[in-house]
Amino acid sequence: MNQATALWGGRFRAAPDPALTAFSRSDASHLRLVPYDIAGSCAHARELHREGILDDRELERMLETLGAIQSDIAAGREAPSPGDEDIHTFIERLLISRLGDVGGKLRAGRSRNDQAANDLKLYLRVEARGIAAGLLQVIDALAAQAEAHMETAAPGFTHLQAAQPIVLGHQLLAHAQALQRNLDRFMDWDRRSARSPLGAAALAGSAIALRPDLSAAELGYDGPCENSIDAVGSRDHVAEFLFVTAMIGVDLSRLCEEVIYWCSQAVSWAKLDDSFATGSSIMPQKKNPDIAELTRGRSARLIGSLNAMLVTQKGLPFAYNRDLIEDKRAAFEAVDTLHLVLPAMRGLVATLRFDEARMRRAATDGFTLATEMADWLARRGVPFSAAHEITGRAVRYCEDKGVGLEALSADEFASIDPALDASVAACLSVEAALSARSAFGGTAPAAVREQLHRLQAALDVKRGWVDAGVQALDEGNEK
């Protein structure tokens, strides 16, 4: 049973050098593709049955044996031997050892080129939904925190300088909106990736597997690839998948940067839960935001995986080249990284505790109400260029006195400019500034609440896509 099976070699006069064998052998991580290789093999077996290469009994035995092989590998009863070049060789060795010559028939009409392309594409279509499910949990945690802080005033920043008052829920939903667009990207990616490479064989198509449309439908694709060379030689679907994962990494990294800032001792707007923080080996008082820092660091890995895939493809002639084996390393790294990051980030976000009073006090630091004065003047017919200058003088006056704009008296307003009168004071409060921005997408509490409702409705649609994919996978496994 452990006799190695070679998928090539008849025309060679010498055995492969051990250095070649070691270099050429697939990494053990490829074993995760076994279920997808088995699924493709079952679809191909039915194709061979349609063409008369397998009779009814042979097809039945082939499908039963492939199912048993998958179970044995999953249970650890079978493992690759040193002579197995890859999972395709491994599975064929087991198949021939159990079925004899009948097992050897399965290779007719296909190539490792279309097998390899199919295995990874099926894997990524499943993992896109798995990552999306984890990402939904992070977004749900952000949405729950936002709902709890619809009235919590906070300073908003540009250039990391105090800009205008906002509600904290608005800031949290900004991150949720950015992250949920990656769900749209996965859904859009999946639509483009729903084309099967099976039947492309090495590059020219198969003279035996003549109904790739039926195999495609069996495996949950919308149809076969239009061009057999493109089917085996392109990996833009892998690069695009990796772009989405890299974008998730970048979006999470931005969130982490803000969490680190909010939880810093100097700012202290938020506190980490003990279960999602770490300590110092030398300083007993420390409470470190390691999840945020590790996630910020892991985003570099995700960007690196994308870069590796793009660079691998850039100089390849069209059709299959062995360089493309790097697609799996890049994809597995990205998938594994996010499966670690997303649950940790969900917990970190869900357990954050915010100091509402401290954030409210900071909401007017740095003259964040200045825009309210300029807008007040503009509404009274003062050209905004002039209103900007008048408000700038008011800020300078307040800086010299060490007070905020809201502390000025009617006489002081008038001394700065005749266009200012006592009624301007009504707009110089956090509550007034927030409520004034009630337009679609604004930071007024009512507008933020409406935004949250729209987000939750959009997320329900995306949850449906995730659940439908899982259901389809379960139905496919039953077959």
CB of 101 closer than 8 Å to CB of 95? no
If DSSP states are collapsed to H, E and C, what string results for 152-213?
CEEEEEECCEEEEEEEHHHHHHHHHHHHHHHHHHHHHHHHHCCEECCCCCCCCCCCCCCCHH
Rounded CA separation 228/318 (Å) = 11
**Residue found under tokens 């005033």:** 153
* Cα torsion through 266, 159, 164, 396, rounded to 10: 90
CB of 41 closer than 8 Å to CB of 104? no
DSSP states along 10-51: TT-SSPPPHHHHHHHSPPGGGGGGHHHHHHHHHHHHHHHHHT
CB of 126 closer than 8 Å to CB of 102? no
* 299 assigned to active site: no
Residue 135, burial from CB neighbour count under 10 angstroms (0-12, 13-18, 19+): buried
* 49 assigned to active site: no
End-to-end CA, the chain: 27
Tell me the residue type at 71. Answer: S
The pair of structure tokens assigned to 440 is 């679609």
Rounded CA separation 182/264 (Å) = 29
Q: Which of 24, 71, 280, 423 is catalytic?
A: 280
Rounded CA separation 240/310 (Å) = 10
Q: Which of 159, 275, 281, 385 is catalytic?
A: 159
Element (H, E) at 421: none
SS3 454: helix
Task: Sort strands 161-167 and 153-158 into parallel, antiparallel or unpaired.
Answer: antiparallel
Residues annotated as catalytic are 159, 280
